[in-house]
Amino acid sequence: MSEAEAQMTGWMKGFAAAALAMAAATGAQAQESTNRVAVETAWSVFVDGDPRECWVVSAPTETVNTRGGQPAPNVRRGDILYFVTYRQGESAPEISFTGGYPFAEGSTVTVQVGDDRFELFTNPSTPEWAWAASPEEDARILAAMRRGANAVLSARSSRGTNTRDTFSLFGVTAATEEAQRRCAE
């Protein structure tokens, strides 16, 4: 197992509990969640657990699904969410994405913010999730997000559907600063 794979496996274990809480706190349920502590334009801030995990999350403003280069309007997807997570006692952010479907095995998710392009890696043990390869890459992605207006995440499902999800970045700076502050306490 490579160092990046070992880091990703460690992140996945630590992220599993938070992912369940995040999935439960999306859509209409997010309006009622007791662990949402702030909303900054397109991004909601959540705090949960002991040790504390603090994350910001947003849903896409636009979603395009295609198969064979043609629109695929009847594609069923679960929650489509883009996250930045902080953990108590750690200062580094963690970027993750769930596309609402299992990603194609061995595929990556492309994150485009302005002229900056990054890749998130998928893992068969958590087929609906993708993460950056390292804490340094997480920091580079977050820096681009804070400068940008939109992030476009492109991926391929295990069934061959290509997806392109656009996320507004308005409010991401304030939201991530709030999450980082709450997990530093």
3-class DSSP state of 41: coil
In this prediction, residue 143 carries a pLDDT of 98
pLDDT at 51 over 60: yes
Which range of 23-27, 39-43, 141-145 scores highest in mean pLDDT? It is 141-145
CA angle (146 as vertex; 143, 152 as ends), nearest 5: 95
In this prediction, residue 34 carries a pLDDT of 67
pLDDT at 185 over 80: no
Instruction: Tell me how far apart the alpha carbons of residues 128 and 155 are, in angstroms, rounded to a whole number.
Output: 11
Could you tell me which residue, 166 or 27, shows the higher pLDDT? 166
Identify the helix (H) or strand (E) that includes residue 170.
none
In this prediction, residue 167 carries a pLDDT of 98
Contact at 8 Å (CB) between 55 and 21? no
Instruction: Tell me how far apart the alpha carbons of residues 63 and 157 are, in angstroms, rounded to a whole number.
Output: 14
Q: Which residues pair with 162 in a beta bridge?
A: 66, 156
Residue with tokens 């306490």: 185
In this prediction, residue 109 carries a pLDDT of 98
SS (H, E, C) 80-111: CEEEEEEECCCCCCEEEEECCCCECCCCEEEE
In this prediction, residue 90 carries a pLDDT of 86
Q: Comparing C-alpha atoms, which of 156, 129, 177 is closest to residue 12?
A: 129
- Mean predicted confidence (pLDDT) in 146-156: 98
Residue-range domains of the chain with CATH: 3-184 (2.60.40.1880)
In this prediction, residue 73 carries a pLDDT of 85
In this prediction, residue 6 carries a pLDDT of 43
Instruction: Tell me how far apart the alpha carbons of residues 152 and 21 are, in angstroms, rounded to a whole number.
Output: 24
